[in-house]
Structures are given as structure tokens and as C-alpha cells.
Amino acid sequence: MNTQGKVFKYPDNVDTDVIIPARYLNTPDAKELALHCMEDIDTEFVKKVQTGDVMVAGWNFGCGSSREHAPLVIKTCGTGCVIAKSFARIFYRNAINIGLPIFECEEAAEEINADDEVKVDFDTGVITDITTGKTYKAQPFPEFIQNIIRCGGLLKSLKEGENNV
């Protein structure tokens, strides 16, 4: 599996309140919520994002609230994956559980520019910046987490009896 698309670049400490402001959380409907993805720091994101595009951010992406709505709206918008220097732990867990591909790669997150065309191979963790021609290698997930991703999320892995650490 892989994704290819244009880069939306964000700074350190992007919190779940700006990914999806709580004022909209009176509904669990992902499609409705996705209309407001990133709106408090980037009103253009929802208008511009295309299926397969890639978010690139700094340290501690997704800090703050435990709302699973945050990775869910990023995924629902069509974002192919998120690359960051690091992820806040609940966001990291939630992204895996709902099947939003995420990659920790400090070098890629530092060097890749906004609007670059980027390709990410989910199986190998290889990130290619097609615009600059540079490649990067993200940290691979532990086997147990790869299993959850392969099954299509935590609940499916539980149903299939694949949830053995």
C-alpha cells in the first residue's frame, strides 16, 4: 500500500483542538466533522486537499484531547498519511486503531516543503519527495501494531483473534 500527493506542512504541537475544534463535536458524523478539519489554523486545507495528499508536521502532532474525531477527520478528508517528527501518544494510538497511516521521521518532516509531491510506501516506510528527489526511511511499526493495521483497525484484529502481543 502507498499514497502519493501534495504536502500540507504544519508546525510543532498541532493540537486536536485545531484539527477538529470541540465546538463541532456535538455530532459523531465524520463527514460533517471533516468539513472543519484544521480550520482554526488553516482555513484553506479543506478546500484544497485531494485524496492521497500528505500532512507533514513537527514535534508532538495531535497533542491535547483524546478525541478520535481528530485522526478520523484527517482520514475522511482524503489525507493519505501523516508524517511528523513525533506524535502525541493518544493520537498515535487512535490513528492506528482507526487505520490512518502515520510515520515518524524527523529528517523528512524537517526537509519536505509545503506543496512538494511526495510518495509514501506504507510497507517499507520509504518516503520519496518527488519534487526534490530525496528519499527518507521512517521508523517501522512493531509487528503487533503492523498486525492491527493489516487487519484494518483494532476491533477487526480483535475479531480475527490477531490481537496477541
- Comparison of 113 and 144: residue with beta carbon closer to other proteins: 144
Please tell me the distance from the alpha carbon of residue 109 to that of residue 57, in angstroms, as a whole number: 6
- Comparison of 136 and 141: residue with beta carbon closer to other proteins: 141
Q: Is residue 60 helix, strand or coil?
A: coil
Q: Is residue 35 helix, strand or coil?
A: coil
Closest contact distance (angstroms) between CB of 153 and other proteins is 7
- Comparison of 130 and 155: residue with beta carbon closer to other proteins: 155
Please tell me the distance from the alpha carbon of residue 36 to that of residue 46, in angstroms, as a whole number: 7
Closest contact distance (angstroms) between CB of 15 and other proteins is 5
Please tell me the distance from the alpha carbon of residue 97 to that of residue 144, in angstroms, as a whole number: 12
In one-letter notation, the amino acid at residue 65 is: S
> What spatial distance separates the first Cα and last Cα of the chain, rounded to whole Å?
24
DSSP state at residue 142: P
Closest contact distance (angstroms) between CB of 44 and other proteins is 14
Closest contact distance (angstroms) between CB of 120 and other proteins is 23
- Residues of this chain that interact with other proteins (CB under 8 A) are 13, 15, 17-18, 21-23, 25-28, 40-41, 59-60, 63-69, 71-72, 86, 88-90, 93-94, 97-98, 142, 144, 153-156, 158-159, 163-165
Closest contact distance (angstroms) between CB of 117 and other proteins is 29
Strands 2-9 and 54-57: parallel
Q: Do 56 and 7 meet the contact criterion of CB atoms below 8 Å apart?
A: yes
- Comparison of 2 and 86: residue with beta carbon closer to other proteins: 86
- Comparison of 150 and 159: residue with beta carbon closer to other proteins: 159
